[in-house]
Structure 1
Amino acid sequence: MGIQDIIEGKKQWRAHMARVKALPPDYQIVYKEMQRYIFKVGPVDLLDGSLLSGIVDFFEEGVATDRGVLELTGNDVAAFCDDLLKNSRTYADIHQESIGGKPGTAEK
């Protein structure tokens, strides 16, 4: 990754965050909580994928149709995020595999 890639990545991130800041305050709060949750769970392809920008697209559509953010996500935002990530490989899956277990299972 060269310096140009880093600069372009920063430009894209700033443009993405400008879209988030253009959302109504309740949407911004839910987005930031979703972002925090997704960053903790850590899908491996987060930087390569379009998950976060897809969420902003979804929220922008909700604003355009005059719907509340919890009408879109439901009251359990973490469960909504889990549904978004259910087919994504996470760093937790990689760690579980490295210690010999199957992803999504805990050793007893």
Structure 2
Amino acid sequence: MGIQDIIEGKKQWRAHMARVKALPPDYQIVYKEMQRYFIKVGPVDLVDGSLLSGIVDFFEEGVAGGKGVLELVGNDVAAFCDDLVKDSRTYADIYQESISGEPGTAEK
């Protein structure tokens, strides 16, 4: 990864966060909670950015449709997040696989 890639990544992240800040306050709160949840759960493909930007797209459509954020995601935000990544491999899965093997065979 070169310096240009890092600079471009920062530009994309700033543009993404500008979109988040343009959302109504209740949407921003739920987005930040979802972001925290995903960082804890750790879907491996979170780093490519499509999951978080897809959520912002979904939220922008909800705002345009005049819906509240809980109308979109429901009262259990964690369950909504789990449904989004249910087929994704997580860092927790990788860890479980590493400890379930024979002693001394875990990948380093």
Matched-pair identity in %: 89
Amino acid at match of 1:32: K
TM value normalised by structure 2: 0.91
Q: Does 1:72 align with 2:72?
A: yes
TM value normalised by structure 1: 0.91
Gaps of 5+ in 1: 102-108
Match of 1:25 in 2: 25
Q: Does 1:38 align with 2:38?
A: yes
Shift, 1:28, TM fit: 0.3
Amino acid at match of 1:52: L
Local SS of the residue matching 1:88: coil
Separation (CA, whole Å) in 2 of partners of 1:49 and 1:83: 17
Higher share in helix: 2
| Bigger radius of gyration among the two | 2
Gaps of 5+ in 2: 102-108
How many residues align? The count is: 101
Amino acid at match of 1:73: V
State the Cα RMSD in Å: 0.9
